[in-house]
């Protein structure tokens, strides 16, 4: 599976840990690569573009709290980014929301919990049915703002 992963400076360490842990995943790391202060929209935008273009199947976006990354990613048409702070949220974001970007707050989560959240997210499947109808309503709202 190809996953785009990106973070600002606050998420660099966690990003490296994730890449080392999930060796079976083909990560496209869009940066940032150092702990020098940077602007999260630059890197989270790159994650979102990888997903919307189809270059990556899913994305993982990390900043300090996950809030800025979540706001940024959800500006992109077709992105359903879910900020998850526990495994139930990760599971439900796939089962009900078909989230295609997982957002993590590196300053909020311990390393072990972050890895468990990712494992849960990757192993959970979208249920479709009534949830598909709801996603289509979200897509229609999105479309109403695009020319």
Q: List, by residue number, the catalytic residues.
A: 63, 96
Q: Which of 42-50, 64-72, 114-122, 126-134 is the region at the interface with ligand RB5 (rule: CB under 6 A)?
A: 64-72
**What is the Cα 107 distance to its own chain's centre?**
16
Minimum distance from residue 128 beta carbon to ligand RB5 (Å):
32
Binding-site size for ligand RB5 (CB under 6 A) equals 8
**Would you say 106 and 79 are in contact if contact means Cβ atoms under 8 Å apart?**
no
Q: Which of 13-21, 23-31, 59-67, 89-97 is the region at the interface with ligand RB5 (rule: CB under 6 A)?
A: 59-67
44-53 as b/e: b if 16+ CB within 10 A: bbbbbbbbbe
Q: Residue 122 contacts by C-beta under 8 Å, 6 or more apart in sequence?
A: 1, 22, 25
Residue 67 interacting with ligand RB5 (CB under 6 A): yes
Nearer of residues 65 and 124 to ligand RB5, judged by Cβ: 65
In this structure, are strands 81-83 and 101-105 parallel, antiparallel, or unpaired? parallel
Token readout for 54 is 């189809």
Residue 64 interacting with ligand RB5 (CB under 6 A): yes
List residues binding ligand RB5 (CB under 6 A).
8, 10, 40, 63-65, 67-68
């Amino acid at each position: 599976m190809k996953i785009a992963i990106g973070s600002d400076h606050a998420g660099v360490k966690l990003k490296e840990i994730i890449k080392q842990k999930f060796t079976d995943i083909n990560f496209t790391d869009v940066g940032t690569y150092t702990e020098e202060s940077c602007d999260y929209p630059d890197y989270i935008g790159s994650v979102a573009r990888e997903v919307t273009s189809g270059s990556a199947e899913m994305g993982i976006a990390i900043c300090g709290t996950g809030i800025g990354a979540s706001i940024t990613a959800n500006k992109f048409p077709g992105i359903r980014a879910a900020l998850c702070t526990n495994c139930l949220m990760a599971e439900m974001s796939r089962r009900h929301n078909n989230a295609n970007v997982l957002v993590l707050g590196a300053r909020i989560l311990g390393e072990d919990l972050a890895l468990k959240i990712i494992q849960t997210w990757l192993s959970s499947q979208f249920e479709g049915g009534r949830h598909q109808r709801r996603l289509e309503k979200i897509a229609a709202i999105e479309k109403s703002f695009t020319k």
